[in-house]
Structure 1
Amino acid sequence: MIKIYHNPRCSKSRQGVAILEESNVEFETIKYLDQTLTKDELVEIISLLEIKPIELVRKNEKIWKESFKSKELTDDEIINAMIENPKLIERPIVVNNKKAVIGRPPENINRII
């Protein structure tokens, strides 16, 4: 089943949900700010996206700028920062079996549904 990691306060994330609804596919919505991801889940998502952990970080978030930006962090430390501060995770993320995309722009989602 398709999963969308969603933040309802984000317009791009809402557009991602709309794309899935308009495509008439079954999907599960995971509000990752409420249902914190485990480290294993986040590592799996990063692997499916085929990116480095830093590429999933929202670098304009205040918490990133104040607490992490000036530091040299390992991939593991970046993952831990996202687990502890889920607002740092780019959104929306859509996973369909063994494929995943970041929905920025939201039209990226069409590549995996």
Structure 2
Amino acid sequence: MDEVTIWHNPRCSKSRGALELLAEAGVAPTVVRYLDTPPTRAELVDVLRKLGTDDPRAIIRTGEQAYRERGLAGADRETLLDALAEEPSLIERPIVQIGDRAVVARPPELVRELLG
């Protein structure tokens, strides 16, 4: 199996649930605590490609205060990518990546589909 990576926030129940499902499947992923080690802009673009989109809205948390404060509702792609790179709390979680595929595991059971 290709390497499995999870962008993880241990305070998030969905993120913990995805991690548990991976463990149940016998998968020991690379755990990236993205709030502590934010992804680069290039990594964000790569994960969007793996998700099958180029739209950063696929991974942005629109309910966050930072989203409103930055006025991102009408922002273009480049502005959204910059905001995600600068403010990782805006990134939806968890994101699980296997090889060239990824899923925003909300609900966590989406991990099973990714595992096949």
Q: CA RMSD in A?
A: 1.0
Matched, 1:68 2:89: no
TM-score (norm 1): 0.94
Q: Provide runs of 4+ in structure 1 moved above 3 Å.
A: none
TM-score (norm 2): 0.92
Matched, 1:7 2:16: no
Match of 2:60 in 1: 57
Structure 2, unmatched stretches of 5+, are none
**1:73 Cα deviation from its structure 2 partner:** 1.5
Match of 1:97 in 2: 99
Q: Distance in 1 between matches of 2:71 and 2:26?
A: 40
Amino acid at match of 1:58: R
Q: Distance in 2 between matches of 1:14 and 1:98?
A: 23
User: Per the alignment, in what secondary structure is the counterpart of residue 87 of structure 1?
Assistant: helix
Q: Of the candidates 22, 25, 38, which is equivalent to residue 40 of structure 2? A: 38
Counting matched residue pairs gives 112
Match of 1:48 in 2: 50
Match of 1:25 in 2: 27
Give the fraction of aligned pairs with identical amino acids, expressed as a percent: 37
Matched, 1:107 2:102: no
Q: Distance in 1 between matches of 2:38 and 2:66?
A: 17
Post-superposition Cα deviations, 1:86-112, rounded to whole Å, max 9, x if no partner, equal: 000000000000110000010011111
